[in-house]
Amino acid sequence: MVNRILLNTLADGEFHSGEDLGEKLGISRAAVWKQLQKLEDMGIPLNSVKGRGYRLQDAVELLDADFLRTSLDMQLWQQLEVDLVTDSTNENVQRWLASHSGRCVFFAEKQTAGRGRRGRHWVSPFARNLYFSLAWPFENGVAGVQGLSLVVGLAIYRVLQQHCPAPVGLKWPNDILVNDAKLGGILLELNGVMLDACNVIIGIGINLDIRHADQETISQPATGLRQQGCQAGRNELALALMQSLQSVLTEFARTGFAPFAAEWNAANGFRGREVRLILPSSEISGICQGVNEKGELCIVVNGVAQYFNAGEVSLRLAHAS
């Protein structure tokens, strides 16, 4: 286990000598060195300069599990964890569901095998963005979750548009955009599907600080809240997102998607624009209208409205670069 006091000390991005760190932690310099080695082994970027000491490459605000636990309604959540490094927070939830039921949420500062939609990799550098997944049980099996991905997007949209000076929009079925660049994504996975019940793993990645080097490994234009002038803290955002998700998911479980359709359409970043819908074996071009009460997307093709289900489809602007 990595020493949290060590990490919290280094989080200021300033140099700390081995001696000071040893004193602070009450351990020898050799033990400090071992701890620093562990951080490096976990892929947490460190600088060490002779005569000055050690520092994290960047100052970071680490997620604080105690703050989140005390600020949220923990009656609703059986477990809330913040891992420093994990493979994928969706996997954390999957493992939890193997021996638990109910609701849990796992955050991570870094993912080594972050997953995106359609088998893509989700770039997850240490403490720069938000990566988290929750388990939420629903009644009525798969039928009870129609439109779920859209309401998750809406819950996130409500928070981000409050914190982001630039206009945030939604892209069907569940991307969050700013000026057509990706600000966040959602990956839903079903678990334990039965006729009258199912658990959904809701994985969320929100870009806070997308650097040039990250962009090179991402297949589409991406942006972060910092790049858009938002200064909100990571814990503040994580809490606001959880509160919004709690309220939207509770409501959705009661009412289904229909009452959310108008708000989703108002947030639709592609409304009235020419789009291409890429289906598994064909492509449709038309004008994006919005969603109906089931969350199906309406595209007007040669003057005729056609409706599409979210599945293995991908929506693009007709003239995207």
Q: Known catalytic residues?
A: 117, 182, 316
Q: Applying CB under 6 A, which of residues 159, 186, 222, 239 lies at the interface with ligand BTN? A: 186
User: Considering the complex, what minimum distance in angstroms separates the CB of residue 203 from ligand BTN?
Assistant: 3
Report the residue number, 177 or 261, with the smaller CB distance to ligand BTN: 177
Determine, following the binding rule CB under 6 A, whether residue 115 of this chain makes contact with ligand BTN: yes
Determine, following the binding rule CB under 6 A, whether residue 294 of this chain makes contact with ligand BTN: no
User: Considering the complex, what minimum distance in angstroms separates the CB of residue 84 from ligand BTN?
Assistant: 15
Helix extents (H) in the chain: 4-10, 18-25, 29-41, 65-71, 89-97, 148-163, 212-216, 234-255, 261-267
Residues in the chain: 321
Q: In what order do the strands lie in the sheet with 130-139?
A: 79-86, 104-111, 130-139, 197-206, 181-191, 175-178, 168-171
* Closest residue by beta carbon to ligand BTN: 185
DSSP 3-state assignment of 263?
helix
Report the residue number, 117 or 163, with the smaller CB distance to ligand BTN: 117
Ranges within 125-164 binding ligand BTN (CB under 6 A): 131-133
Determine, following the binding rule CB under 6 A, whether residue 316 of this chain makes contact with ligand BTN: no
Determine, following the binding rule CB under 6 A, whether residue 271 of this chain makes contact with ligand BTN: no
User: Considering the complex, what minimum distance in angstroms separates the CB of residue 174 from ligand BTN?
Assistant: 7
Ranges within 203-222 binding ligand BTN (CB under 6 A): 203-205
User: Considering the complex, what minimum distance in angstroms separates the CB of residue 137 from ligand BTN?
Assistant: 19
Determine, following the binding rule CB under 6 A, whether residue 269 of this chain makes contact with ligand BTN: no
Q: Applying CB under 6 A, which of residues 89, 207, 223, 235 lies at the interface with ligand BTN? A: 89
Q: Applying CB under 6 A, which of residues 122, 157, 252, 264 lies at the interface with ligand BTN? A: 122
User: Considering the complex, what minimum distance in angstroms separates the CB of residue 114 from ligand BTN?
Assistant: 4
How many residues touch ligand BTN under the rule CB under 6 A: the total is 20
Nearest CA-CA partner of 222 in 238, 211, 233, 231: 211
Nearest CA-CA partner of 110 in 80, 96, 131, 134: 131
Report the residue number, 47 or 309, with the smaller CB distance to ligand BTN: 309
Measure the CA dihedral 5/7/10/16, to 10°: 60
Peptide bond into 165 cis (omega under 30): no
User: Considering the complex, what minimum distance in angstroms separates the CB of residue 181 from ligand BTN?
Assistant: 13
Q: Are 218 and 116 in contact (CB under 8 A)?
A: no
Q: Are 130 and 205 in contact (CB under 8 A)?
A: yes
Q: Applying CB under 6 A, which of residues 187, 225, 239, 240 lies at the interface with ligand BTN? A: 187
At residue 121, φ and ψ (nearest 5 deg) are -85, 145
Q: Could you give the string, one character per residue 163-182, with x where binding to ligand BTN holds by CB under 6 A and - elsewhere?
A: ------------x-------
At residue 171, φ and ψ (nearest 5 deg) are -120, 125
The string of DSSP codes covering 122-190 is ----TTTSEEEEEEEEEESGGGGGTTHHHHHHHHHHHHHHHH-SSPEEEETTTEEEETTEEEEEEEEEE
Determine, following the binding rule CB under 6 A, whether residue 244 of this chain makes contact with ligand BTN: no
Residue 26 is given by DSSP the state T
At residue 136, φ and ψ (nearest 5 deg) are -135, 125
Q: Which residues bind ligand BTN (CB under 6 A)?
A: 88-90, 111, 114-117, 120, 122, 131-133, 175, 185-187, 203-205
